[in-house]
Amino acid sequence: MKPLTDVLLEDAVSKRRAQCLLTTVLVTFALGACTKPAAPVQESASPASSPGEPPSASRDPLALPKGDLDSETLTNYLHAAMDYHRPDEFDKGFNDAALVGRRFKVSIPYEKGQRNPSYYYNASKEEFSVSLYPDSSYGTGQDAPAMEYLTLAKEASYGQPKLEANAFSVTKEVTPVSYRVLGIGTVGGSYIGVLGKFPESTKELTVYRTISKTIKLAPDAARAAAQGLTMDVEGTILKSSDGHAIYCRQSTRGATLDHPYEESWNQCVLSVKLSQIAVRSPGTGVLAQWGAGGKTEGKKNERVTPS
């Protein structure tokens, strides 16, 4: 029979072995849990872009597309030219050489009191007339050439009114206004093309006249024709006398008693030669057309009904 001390020693050793075995099992289980492969991460799909096209954020607003240039492209160039500041007198100015010789086709929506074209309806005769005349700007001084153009965009920004007094100590509230005007036309009096001009015009000075077309339209058809009125303009971009396609000018106009606005004008005009102008509306189609061989849809005394 074993002494009591040996029995107690063997029992302690057995318990110790059991504890070690249990610890090993637990550690192994924990390691297995830690090394278990993670579930695959689902990646969110990014918006697909057209093959060969860079993301919209990286597109150059002055990149020229193939084919005819549109309203957005011309407007981007005119804005860039307006905002360009020459660092010194040696700088050649905004580079618009890539525009020269390019064809364009732009659509100009009608805005009452803002831009061409204009229309008039004679309800008693059921006659719908569309007319067109270029906007113009004449600077002060011998070095400020005249600008005749069709307005692409016109923006106005109003400042805080302020009190001002004139030479007679009459105080009036004056509102500062900043205008930004973008157009396509001519600088220096040359002919813009397509539009009407008087016989007195010369190569150096063009005297424009209003061109118009009148068609027969019943009241309901005329009402539909006036909705969404748009002018489609086509032509070619030219180089003006200063060697650039775009000419910009800044001018100011002080307030008067009858005109309580202190105005600053920023105008940029793209030199072009027009080849065709068409005025249309979604409900009626082409109402008037000038150029392109003199073809006109919607002649006088011809009744037009919405399609």
Whether 306 maps to a domain, the answer reads no
Which of 265, 267, 304 is CA-nearest to residue 286?
Answer: 304
For residue 240, give both structure tokens: 């003006």
Q: Which residues are within 8 A (CB) of 290 and not within 5 positions of it... i.e. 6 or more apart?
A: 132, 194, 195, 211, 276, 277, 278, 296
3-state secondary structure of 33: helix
- The owner of tokens 């973008």 is 182
**Is residue 101 included in any domain, yes or no?**
yes
Name residues whose C-beta falls within 8 Å of residue 105's C-beta, 6 or more positions apart in sequence. 68, 69, 70, 232, 233, 234
Q: Which of 222, 203, 208, 236 is nearest to 130 (CA)?
A: 222
By residue range, what is the domain housing residue 181?
A: 67-294
Within a domain: residue 272? Answer: yes
Q: Is the peptide bond before 54 cis (omega within 30 degrees of 0)?
A: no
Enumerate the H helices of the chain as residue ranges: 4-34, 71-83, 219-225
Would residue 94 count as lying in a domain?
Answer: yes
Q: Is 13 within the bounds of a domain?
A: no
DSSP-derived 3-state class of residue 97: helix
Give pLDDT tens digits for 26-76: 333 333 443 444 433 333 333 344 444 445 456 788 999 999 999 999 999
Is the pLDDT score of 17 beyond 80? no
pTM above 0.75, yes or no: no
Look at the chain and report how many structural domains it folds into.
1
Q: Is residue 78 within 8 Å of residue 268, measured between CB atoms?
A: yes
In a domain, residue 47? The reply is: no
Pick the most confident of 12-16, 17-21, 48-52, 74-78: 74-78
Please indicate, yes or no, if residue 303 is contained in any of the structural domains: no
Q: Is there a domain that residue 176 lies in?
A: yes
- Tell me, what's the pLDDT at 283? 85
Q: pLDDT per residue over 38-52, tens digit each?
A: 433 333 333 344 444
**Model pLDDT for residues 87-106, shown as the tens digit of each residue:** 999 999 999 999 999 999 99
Which is it for the CA torsion 159, 180, 204, 196, positive or negative?
Answer: negative
